Structure 1
Amino acid sequence: MTSLNDLPLRDNLRGLTPYGAPQLHVAVALNVNENTHGIPDAVARDIVAAMTEAIRTINRYPDREFTELRESLARYLGHGLTRENIWAANGSNEVLQQVLQAFGGPGRSVLGFAPTYSMYSLLASGTGTRWIAGTRDADFELTPATATGWVDTVSPDLVFLCSPNNPTGTPLSLDTIAAVYDATDGVVVVDEAYAEFGPSGAPSALTLLPGRERLLVSRTMSKAFAFAGARVGYLAADPAVTDALRLVRLPYHLSALTQAAAIAALAHTAEMLAMVDDIRGQRDRLVAELAVLGYSPLRSASNFVLFGGVDDPRGTFEALLAEGILVRDVGIPGHLRVTAGTEAETSVFLTALAGLGQHSVVQPNKLLE
């Protein structure tokens, strides 16, 4: 059998491993930051009805400009945005890939701040863009001084800022974003995949868009909208940016079914986002009770918590897995990451972790039935 090493693979892809968390069937999956609450039945029925209608014309190509979807996304985001400011693709990963195809490539570089979303470096490799991993401040924060220091040192063509950062959950100030933009002539991408889980009323990087034609704000429907399986990501930017992305996108890249499902979901924004407050509550509960257990949770503005003080991350991961609970070992020494699930799922996780005996015991809430 031919192995990967036997193929004439591009040099910059040799030795890499594909992105992917373990896909295991367990009772409590809290490893990939999904919204575990699911879609309300009434909303699901409307989505199914919209997709059924779309099926009637499935013999034709979909709207190449996904016009209605862009209009729906612009209404959802607000901030005076119109469809001309909006782009969408099959998940925010494809959005970011298209950004790198348009503005990166051989001879160009993208700066990120490690640890951060591991797909950034893989997308860079896939587009022939040089990945530069800058460092963060204590507790994985990122100040304007640290961020601009790296920009001044390496002069990147693009900068990726994850806000809040994955896998650490730490928020990013608008001051840092604005300072990075002012420090570079390149494209600045703010990845706000988890923005809806931030404090109520917290400002988004969307407020910085006016007058900043090189600033792109990426979002997703996967997390807050419980739409991970539909694969819908999008960004807001100057209309010239969407023109640039048209140069690299594949024809008809968003299927008619994807467009119909997303438009129907956005028509029910209030219902789809109703679980966000509950998720925030479980995230805050994780932070509080992990500390009681003797761990060191980081502050989080996302739907997950990274916690330190884990003597044996791999052993703890395996022990939880044996109990039917899947968390994420993100490769940061002494740390694990857990998604904020339902109240019952959170209780099962905390009870199991307490039972491992590494630290003191927490009083569990109602267990998962």
Structure 2
Amino acid sequence: MARVELCGVKKKYGEKTVIPGVDLAIEHGEFLVFIGPSGCGKSTLLRMICGLEPISGGTVAIGGKLMRGVPPAKRGVAMVFQSYALYPHKTVADNMAFSLLMQGMPKAERNKRVAAVAETLQLGPLLGRFPKELSGGQRQRVAIGRAIVREPDVFLFDEPLSNLDAELRVQMRLELAKLHRSLGATMIYVTHDQTEAMTLADRIVVLRDGVVEQFGTPAQIYDAPCNRFVAGFMGSPKMSFLEALVSGQDGTHLTLQVRGTTGDCVELVLAEPMVLSGNVTVGIRPEHFNTHRVSGPRLLAEVEFVERLGGESFLHAPAHPGGALVMRQGDAEARSIAIGKCEVSVDWRKAHLFGADGRAIPLKREL
């Protein structure tokens, strides 16, 4: 079983600690995604699992076996890089079969494996071509096919789609999802693209400065972010944050004065008893704004830019006194809004609340 376990994994470069200690258990057959801003340590973690980067502390185990001292070729993993790293002088078939050739596998068996994988990835007609004769998407499929023919226990992907155009990225996401279902293999995937993470992952690891900020399913990460960083990072466009002041509390019922509203107080219900006071932050996802009137306080916003995307539009109000706003609207609704001042309703039942330390404060949600 290709279960991957990281126990207290650390990485130092000289005196600088870039990963202070990561504990993770990745189950057999799981599609796990590492996501975070540039420099957060996601590719470094992947390379340590693969064995391309030595670890400074802790242990990595694959299939229940400790990988200390085990070279990359013996770990039962295959890695797909951001650059295709294909041999330009070899055909597609030879590129895919090269690792098998190095293992001493007989030619008949190599050809059989390459043909089977080529059929899965729709590369059959391209086996005799050279990399320079392929499109970007085709080259990436060859790189993925080269990994599949090895029949590894674990697949490692390091931002494999970042060099592709938007249309090819969508196509390759679908192909990767289908590939995971058909192979049932453990896959660990690094990306900075939230759409890739949300659509591909069984579970997501959100990293910042080498620290795991949150580990959970896409729904858990999006609907219940553990802190303001995760809430702002996951989501495109990102969550809007509004400054607020606790003006009253009766048990779990909280009354807030939110800057930039029409003057009424916002009422929220805590999921568990706690005493709050002072400044807090209210988070609103773009889809929870409404331009038509609903109950509750409204925001006084000045729309400076309307981003029309066909079926929907995003209204940008960066100068709102409570905090910059990004609001998603249906295109028909957005057409009725001109650049300038307007009132915007909010579905406060879907709001998120964060304390002064940035940690999420759980709210009671209506079923």
Structure with higher Rg: it is 2
Normalising by the residue count of structure 2, what TM-score does the alignment of the two structures yield?
Answer: 0.27
Tell me which of the two structures has the higher relative contact order, counting C-alpha pairs closer than 8 angstroms and 6 or more residues apart: 1
Higher helix share: 1
Higher strand share: 2
Normalising by the residue count of structure 1, what TM-score does the alignment of the two structures yield?
Answer: 0.27
